[in-house]
Amino acid sequence: MVSDPKGAEVKGEAAGPVEAVIILGHGSRVPDAGKDMEKVAGRLSEKYGYRLVEICNMSRIGPHFPEIFEKCVKRGATRVLVVPYFLHSGIHLLLDIPEMLQEEARKFPGVTVQMGRSFGFDELLVDLLRERIEETRSSIDVRQLVLPPKEKYPVPDGQCEFVPMPPHEAAKYRQE
């Protein structure tokens, strides 16, 4: 989690509404999976001067949106900008996240909550992907990768690791 980089109190500033930025990731069973997102949040504060920047996850290992949202409100935020740290517009962006944000926003009626766009398509991603392609040329063959044991990252009871959908089933949804 990243807040005001200097740890300064944000509450009570005279410059108008206090704005918080929450970067919302998916979440993972891997404890440090959000470290890069945390670095991005820190750089937003350093590079662009955002005073109150936090990260959270929608599921799996936290921190989760409800606790981070409340933390921002307690620090004086009256406007919260939530930016999904997602690439594709799947069910989480269309339904799960907006529903979660609405539910939490009802608890703090004096706070404006706005949801931004996910990454989706952006020309900057084309350049970043080209950079990754160039880096990949010097990578080892996947058969040489040493993988951690799956037991290190257990799937919680009643949940799936992947949710497969056969091609004939997926075709039904593409036609709608």
Query: Which stretches of the chain score pLDDT less than 50?
Result: 1-3, 5-9, 11-14
* Burial call 33-57: b when 16+ CB within 10 Å, e when fewer: bbeebbebbeebbeeeebbbbbbbb
pLDDT at 176: 57
State residue 15's pLDDT score.
61
CB 120 within 8 A of CB 94: no
Q: What is the pLDDT of residue 8?
A: 47
Domains and CATH numbers, the chain: 19-137 (3.40.50.1400)
Rounded to two decimals, what is the model's pTM?
Answer: 0.82
pLDDT of residue 159: 77
Sheet holding 79-84, edge to edge: 53-57, 19-25, 79-84, 112-115
Rounded Cα distance between 100 and 58, Å, is 9
The one-letter amino acid at 12: G
SS (H, E, C) the chain: CCCCCCCCCCCCCCCCCCEEEEEEECCCCCCCCCHHHHHHHHHHHHHHCCCCEEEEECCCCCCEHHHHHHHHHHCCCCEEEEEECCCCCCHHHHHHHHHHHHHHHCCCCCCEEEECCCCCCCHHHHHHHHHHHHHHCCCCCHHHCCCCCHHHCCCCCCCCCCCCCCHHHHHHHHHC
